[in-house]
Structure 1
């Protein structure tokens, strides 16, 4: 039986790692969930067993190189119609898997450590990166509730996280993120462009030959529970 989230996260708040500032309101929390890597990966695999990883189409007609799935009351969807949140997995027609309790605990504690108390995500986008896959610079602006931060948890292989400004042409900071690191951004940096450089091949002791990224978001519901907008190309 898995330990409850409180046990898995015990001690985190009393021994928080130093925060590395990426921008105004944007922080890298080194090793914040290192002690919970195995449990988080197990929970991510359980989500994928219900709603399989898939490479989705983009509005421009391409395909994202990163495989994805979702959990929570809403899931982020990409296809020829655009980018939006939906209550249903388009592959199954069923609701997305419920968000594991551990996910919500991690997201809330990380947000609080970065100065954003009371964060309660409605959606978690689970991305699987394999060798040479990447995520182009983009903004997370489909959520409508831009007062809440974005919380991004890295698991598995290390990656180079790119963090820029409000315009795509702004300079970007290149930061190596390891398994267990968490990046949180909001406030003045909430709409900062960000992405992931092509992943280097490797083998992680728990995740294998991939990187799993959990991105937690608070989403304002639209009429019909369908939100649209934003842009992402992979």
Structure 2
């Protein structure tokens, strides 16, 4: 029997996080019990029916507000003061020269304290976080408090824009393993840890369900069509695609560019 695992995401479900949903559902098809935990997302509007089902199966750390974190934090201190102060020291270190002020990192510790009894109750033997930002830090603090080992997936480019301020190397060193979604991402992670940690960084590409390809065939358009699906934000860089398409058309090549997504 496969051991239960838990997934931690900053916000879940979310239209731009469908790849996380596919990953969780694929694990469940393999017989793995997956506990869903998110910091935000309980009140988000969802359109996809699968997202609505996922929301009903997710526990939310901040649903009761920051005040709701007080009791589990005091409980963690009372039950294991040594581990608590060790995790507190780690949170203070993570808040030094960080992208966010120190109080945020103390909240991350409180979030970890909130999650700890949930994970113990579910029997989760491993915690996986998506993104190398705050969710990875919370997972690391859970482990420092005595919770299960953790891993996380790094997508970029945000993590690579400010790795020192995210203390990315520390998160990698303490993790059981780390996932990069591309070889480039793995190479960037290699830069921030000693080569002895390189074997724990593995490449797992984001994929699509088979149903995505199970559609009725259509005739190709009269004009070549390039479709880009993604959030309209600086990280995706659609402006460069628009400029490139303009250059292609300027050279006399017909082209239709379709941008699907919002901000």
TM-score (ref. length: structure 2): 0.26
| Structure number with larger C-alpha Rg | 2
* More contact order relative to length (CA 8 Å, sep ≥ 6): 1
Structure with the largest fraction of helix: 2
- TM-score when normalising by structure 1: 0.28
